[in-house]
Amino acid sequence: MSACRLLFLLWAAAYPGPFMSASDSLPQGGGLAARYPGDKGIAGDPQVIFADSFESDRIQWDGSVKRPPTTGKPGRAHSGQYAAELTVPPGEGRGAGMVKWFDPGYDRVYARWYVQFPEDYDQGDLHHAGGNLVGMHNHWLLGVAGIKPDGTDRFSTGLEPWRDWKRNPPPGELFMYTYYPDMKRDPDGNYWGNMFRPEKKFLLKTGKWYCLEMMVKVNRPDRADGEQAFWVDGKPVGHFTGIRWRTVEALKVNGFWLMLYIHDNPKTNTVRYDDVVVSRAYIGPMKANKSARSKPSRK
């Protein structure tokens, strides 16, 4: 890694971006999911854009990975029998993921998923592991890095953990990794994602399932009044305002991307995802289904 890149990441870690406290004006606790114990039937809610519990073999995702790899081994799913399992072998620049597009998009989108990092997970220093809400004028722009959006082409933000140069145990502390037109420039001349960190650090632990949720609200094209926020297990953790995501009305939130990418993978690493819901309203944690007597069979 170049000295310039290192200096930028150290600077970016200290730059939280526009900030509001995690508790103000944000919903919390039970949300839309509270109406659907075990998420049963949640896909049919008029506010829901997309849902996948990975219990079906039906193709639901877009892009090159239309049916993500799953595991049905006991104890590896959050609910039901199956969970998506993304594995990255040792080496530099290795990754895996799946994307769902919902064109032309929406002005405000929430995405909720459950994630587990196995107890032996160790990404070294740098990785991207989590959910991303994106606005893409062209789907082929997904994954573009080092270039600042111009307000008409794209924006993206991911909720992911960071080790802070091994100051944090793996997988690390949660933050939002964001590309937007007003982002700060790297000293090496590129534009790498800016870090939006909450006032209070939240560390994820390995071996535990977490309910993560994020929200993006686009700005009015002539104002910097956009927002992003995230929750852990139904509790608000970070809320960032005053963001200019776009300069044209046509650019909206139109995609959700779940992924694992490790810059220099020291070992084989796996992350598990389950019970994904994307919605126009706050979702909240899954409500327990006390009436369920058996695990669903795969269809």
DSSP 75-100: T--SSSS-EEEEEE-SEEEEEEEEEE
**In contact, 96 and 103? CB cutoff 8 Å:** no
Burial-class residue 222 by CB neighbours within 10 Å (0-12, 13-18, 19+).
exposed
pLDDT band at 134 (very low <50, low <70, confident <90, very high): very high
Give CA–CA dist 11/130, Å, rounded.
23
Q: Is the pLDDT of residue 41 over 90?
A: yes
Tell me, yes or no, if the pTM score tops 0.75.
Answer: yes
Residue 176 banded pLDDT, cuts 50, 70, 90 = very high
Contact by Cβ (8 Å): 275, 53: yes
Structure-model confidence comparison of residues 7 and 9, the more confident one:
9
Percent of the chain with pLDDT over 90: 72
d(CA 136, CA 280): 18
pLDDT, mean over the chain: 88
Which of 10-19, 91-100, 161-170 holds the top average pLDDT?
Answer: 161-170
pLDDT in tens, 185-223: 988 889 999 999 999 999 999 999 999 999 999 999 999
Strand partners, 109: 216
Q: Categorize the per-residue pLDDT at 67 as very low, low, confident or very high, splitting at 50, 70 and 90.
A: confident
Residue with the two structure tokens 């927002």: 227
Cα-Cα-Cα-Cα torsion 130, 52, 69, 209, nearest 10 degrees, comes to 50
Range of 15-19, 84-88, 161-165 with top mean pLDDT? 84-88
Instruction: Say what the pLDDT of residue 64 is.
Output: 78
Is the pLDDT at 252 greater than 60? The verdict is: yes
Per-residue pLDDT at 33 exceeds 80: yes
Classify residue 200 by burial, with Cβ atoms within 10 Å: 0-12, 13-18, 19+.
exposed
Which residue shows structure tokens 């990754």? 95
How many angstroms separate the CA atoms of 248 and 218, rounded? 11
Q: Which pLDDT score is estimated for 165? A: 82
Is the pLDDT assigned to residue 154 strictly greater than 60? yes
Cβ neighbours of residue 188 closer than 8 Å, sequence gap 6 or more: 2, 4, 5, 8
Which DSSP state fits 39? G
pLDDT at 65: 83
Q: Which of 124, 80, 92 is nearest to 297 (CA)?
A: 80
- Catalogue all structural domains in the chain, each as residue range(s) with its CATH number: 3-279 (2.60.120.200)
Contact 133, 157 (CB under 8 A): yes
* Pick from 181, 177, 176, 158: nearest CA to 248: 181
For 62, 102, 157, 190, the CA distances from 145, given in Å and listed in that order, are: 21, 22, 12, 9
Over residues 272-285, the mean pLDDT reads 98
pLDDT reported for residue 294: 42
* Predicted pLDDT of residue 187: 85
- Whole-angstrom CA distances from 73 to 81, 157, 254 are 8, 32, 33
- Which pLDDT belongs to residue 291? 55
The percent of residues above 70 in pLDDT, for the chain, comes to 89
My answer on whether omega of the bond before 104 falls inside 30° of 0, hence cis, is: yes
